[in-house]
């Protein structure tokens, strides 16, 4: 008889949720009272957008991510819709472009300026006209640039190509007419070649969006589905809904066989919706309850029991919606692996909640930060429409690291990258090899070129650190924030001094090598 350990070893077993202090929350925010089951919040490393109450149409707020504290009641809004805004989503490849959909049957694309808003934004960059009823869902394609999906009360999913010059687009590139009722949820697999939908007819569908073909249908009667989610490359789907007895329920499905769920579990008897959120880097699944303050989190494994319960974050303040910060906006120095932005309309508050792995070391923890999706598209819109599939470009979260391709092809010119790498190796590597037998004139020219190349990044860093931009770094509001800013400046001064000393050593080494070559000649 084999022995199975009671506790499974996992580096995320002790993850805990930590709510932000009052100073780091967003207060006095007029959060929408809409009854639709959407997140009503979208976050990226620069901005937080939240659907708000507005008289005479729909609007949403766009607040710089560092502008915490009380919000000015007259803060400008993005208000170009004639009906209530139902969903907002940031472009995953451009932090200054956001899409919104509304009860007025339109989808609008907005450009957000890189500065504090001074007046309301009323003119969109693009307007998409095609739905015959209110539009309730929008989703950006995860790897292709400028591809947007929208769904509405006309039971249709429309695919839009925004890579065109027209400001008003009235004809989508594809219409998916495979549903008999309203689509409640949409989710892509990793490379965006498949789309999973949850419909009000209680069925889950897996669709090839370019061909318009329905590949799999789940019509399991004891599970009334509300939300569905692709679990990355696990070849599995996760859904939330209700059971026959109206208990909140979760279910796990095989992507290639939706006849019977692999796992089915009742959670509680509450009436609020469950939002599933999956982190494909850590294989952690978060289940956020609407109308309560709980966030359950699990770890997904490819083998049975598939779903491993970790812990639950509890709060007495109920959430109406939730926003998620992309991985590239996390604080890796505090071992933060996920961050939620919780909408609390009863207090007009947006509360950040950080999911943290407890570690004693303050250095970068590479085992909990694998390569994650970058902010660059892997495909153009036309390439994806022509049938090309490609996984997302990957990037390391280690401070100072650059983007890494998931495929051998590179979108950047290769010679320029090689030249830059060579100059960095010469600048930081210390001594140059004497066997190159360069002439003194050539070495002197190379030394001048090295000085020019080394000068530009230093000037750029100095400009970025010394210029005071209220968008990038708002003024300190408390004595503690002022001390933190002072310590950061002292640390940067120390780092720059070390950099100058290293450059002086490199210059002396080069001068010594030039003298040696002159002597040999």
Read off the pLDDT of residues 331-350 as tens digits, 9 standing for 90 and up. 999 999 999 999 999 999 99
| Mean pLDDT of all residues in 35-52 | 93
pLDDT bracket for residue 352 (50, 70, 90): very high
| Mean pLDDT of all residues in 306-318 | 92
Q: Is residue 492's pLDDT more than 80?
A: yes
Q: Is residue 486's pLDDT more than 50?
A: yes
Backbone angles phi, psi at 267, to 5 degrees: -100, -60
Cβ contacts of residue 46 below 8 Å, gap of 6+? 64, 65, 95, 96, 114
Q: Is residue 404's pLDDT more than 80?
A: no
From residue 462, alpha-carbon distances to 66, 115, 425, 487 in Å are: 21, 20, 22, 17
This prediction has a pTM of 0.76
pLDDT bracket for residue 420 (50, 70, 90): very low
Q: Let me know if residue 120 belongs to a domain.
A: yes
Q: Is residue 473's pLDDT more than 70?
A: no
Please name the helix (run of DSSP H) or strand (run of DSSP E) that holds residue 503, with its range, or none: helix 479-520
**How many C-beta neighbours within 10 Å does residue 89 have?**
18
Q: Let me know if residue 143 belongs to a domain.
A: yes
Contact 272, 287 (CB under 8 A): no
Q: Is residue 435's pLDDT more than 60?
A: no
What digits encode the pLDDT tens for the residues 143-183? 999 999 999 999 999 999 999 999 999 999 999 999 999 99
Least trusted range by pLDDT, from 89-93, 159-163, 351-355, 501-505 = 501-505
Contact 126, 162 (CB under 8 A): yes
Looking at per-residue pLDDT, the higher value among 238 and 244 belongs to: 238
pLDDT for res 437: 39
DSSP secondary structure letter of residue 434: G
Q: Is residue 440's pLDDT more than 60?
A: no
pLDDT for res 287: 96
Closest Cα partner for 275 from 263, 262, 289? 289
What digits encode the pLDDT tens for the residues 252-271? 999 999 999 999 999 988 88
Q: Let me know if residue 304 belongs to a domain.
A: no
Least trusted range by pLDDT, from 59-68, 81-90, 420-429 = 420-429
Rounded to whole angstroms, how far apart are CA atoms 374 and 326? 10
What digits encode the pLDDT tens for the residues 211-231? 999 999 988 888 899 999 999
Q: Let me know if residue 105 belongs to a domain.
A: yes
Q: Is residue 415's pLDDT more than 50?
A: no
Least trusted range by pLDDT, from 122-136, 325-339, 357-371 = 357-371
Rounded to whole angstroms, how far apart are CA atoms 502 and 186? 53
Looking at per-residue pLDDT, the higher value among 304 and 342 belongs to: 342
pLDDT bracket for residue 23 (50, 70, 90): very high
pLDDT bracket for residue 34 (50, 70, 90): confident
pLDDT bracket for residue 513 (50, 70, 90): confident
Question: Domain span at residue 83?
Answer: 38-177
What are the tokens at 472? 């990038």
pLDDT for res 155: 94
Rounded to whole angstroms, how far apart are CA atoms 463 and 265? 55
Q: Let me know if residue 122 belongs to a domain.
A: yes
What digits encode the pLDDT tens for the residues 62-82? 999 999 999 998 999 999 899
Looking at per-residue pLDDT, the higher value among 95 and 439 belongs to: 95
**How many C-beta neighbours within 10 Å does residue 449 have?**
12
Q: Is residue 450's pLDDT more than 50?
A: no
Percentage above 90 pLDDT, the chain:
62
Contact 144, 378 (CB under 8 A): yes
Looking at per-residue pLDDT, the higher value among 8 and 284 belongs to: 284
Least trusted range by pLDDT, from 30-44, 177-191, 482-496 = 482-496
Residue by residue, DSSP assigns 452-470 as: HHHHHHHHHHHHHHHS--T
pLDDT for res 145: 94
Looking at per-residue pLDDT, the higher value among 254 and 407 belongs to: 254
Residue 115 is part of a domain; what is its CATH number?
2.130.10.10
Rounded to whole angstroms, how far apart are CA atoms 350 and 356? 19
Q: Is residue 441's pLDDT more than 60?
A: no
Mean pLDDT over all residues of the chain? 83
Least trusted range by pLDDT, from 13-17, 247-251, 478-482, 507-511 = 478-482
Residue 121 DSSP SS3: strand
Rounded to whole angstroms, how far apart are CA atoms 185 and 205? 11
| Mean pLDDT of all residues in 464-489 | 62
Q: Provide the number of structural domains found in the chain.
A: 1
Q: Is residue 403's pLDDT more than 60?
A: no
pLDDT for res 376: 93
């Amino acid at each position: 008889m084999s022995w199975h350990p009671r506790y499974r070893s996992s580096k995320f077993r002790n993850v805990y949720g930590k709510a932000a202090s009052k100073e780091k929350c967003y207060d006095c925010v007029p959060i929408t009272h809409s009854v639709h089951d959407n997140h009503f919040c979208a976050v990226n490393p620069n901005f937080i957008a939240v659907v708000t109450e507005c008289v005479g149409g729909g609007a949403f707020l766009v607040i710089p991510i560092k502008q915490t504290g009380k919000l000015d009641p007259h803060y400008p809004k993005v208000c170009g819709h004639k009906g209530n805004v139902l969903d907002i989503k940031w472009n995953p490849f451009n932090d200054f472009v956001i899409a919104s959909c509304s009860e007025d049957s339109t989808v609008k694309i907005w450009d957000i300026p890189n500065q504090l808003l001074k007046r309301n934004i009323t003119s969109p960059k693009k307007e998409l006209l095609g739905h015959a009823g209110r539009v309730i869902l929008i989703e950006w394609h995860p790897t292709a640039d400028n591809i947007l999906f929208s769904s509405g009360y006309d039971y249709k999913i429309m695919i839009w190509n925004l890579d065109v010059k027209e400001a008003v687009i009235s004809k989508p590139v594809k219409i998916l007419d495979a549903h008999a009722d309203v689509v409640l949820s949409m989710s892509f697999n990793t490379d965006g070649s498949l789309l999973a939908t949850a419909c009000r007819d209680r069925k889950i569908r897996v669709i090839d969006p370019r061909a318009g073909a329905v590949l799999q249908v789940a019509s399991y009667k004891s599970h009334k589905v509300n939300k569905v989610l692709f679990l990355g490359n696990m070849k599995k789907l996760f859904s939330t809904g209700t059971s026959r007895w109206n208990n909140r329920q979760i279910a796990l499905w095989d992507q290639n066989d939706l006849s019977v769920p692999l796992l089915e579990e009742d959670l509680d008897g509450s009436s609020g919706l469950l939002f599933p959120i999956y982190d494909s880097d850590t294989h952690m699944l978060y289940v956020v309850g609407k109308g309560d303050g709980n966030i359950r989190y699990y770890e997904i494994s490819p083998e049975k029991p598939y779903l491993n319960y970790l812990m639950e974050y509890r709060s007495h303040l109920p959430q109406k919606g939730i926003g998620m910060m992309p991985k590239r906006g996390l604080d890796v120095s505090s071992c933060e692996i996920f961050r939620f932005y919780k909408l609390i309309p009863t207090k007009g508050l947006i509360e950040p909640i950080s999911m943290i792995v407890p570690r004693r070391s303050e250095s970068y923890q590479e085992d909990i930060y694998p390569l994650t999706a970058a902010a660059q598209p892997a495909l153009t819109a036309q390439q994806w429409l022509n049938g090309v599939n490609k996984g997302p470009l990957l990037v390391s979260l280690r401070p100072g690291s650059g983007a890494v391709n998931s495929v051998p092809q590179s979108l950047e010119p290769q010679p320029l990258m090689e030249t830059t790498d060579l100059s960095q190796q010469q600048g930081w590597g210390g001594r140059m090899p004497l066997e190159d037998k360069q002439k003194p004139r050539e070495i002197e020219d190379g030394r001048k070129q090295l000085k020019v190349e080394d000068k530009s990044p230093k000037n750029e860093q100095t400009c970025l650190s010394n210029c005071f931009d209220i968008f990038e770094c708002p003024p300190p509001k408390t004595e503690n924030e002022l001390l933190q800013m002072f310590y950061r400046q002292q640390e940067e001064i120390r780092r720059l001094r070390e950099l100058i000393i290293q450059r002086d050593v490199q210059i002396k080494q080069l001068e010594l090598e030039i003298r040696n070559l002159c002597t040999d000649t």
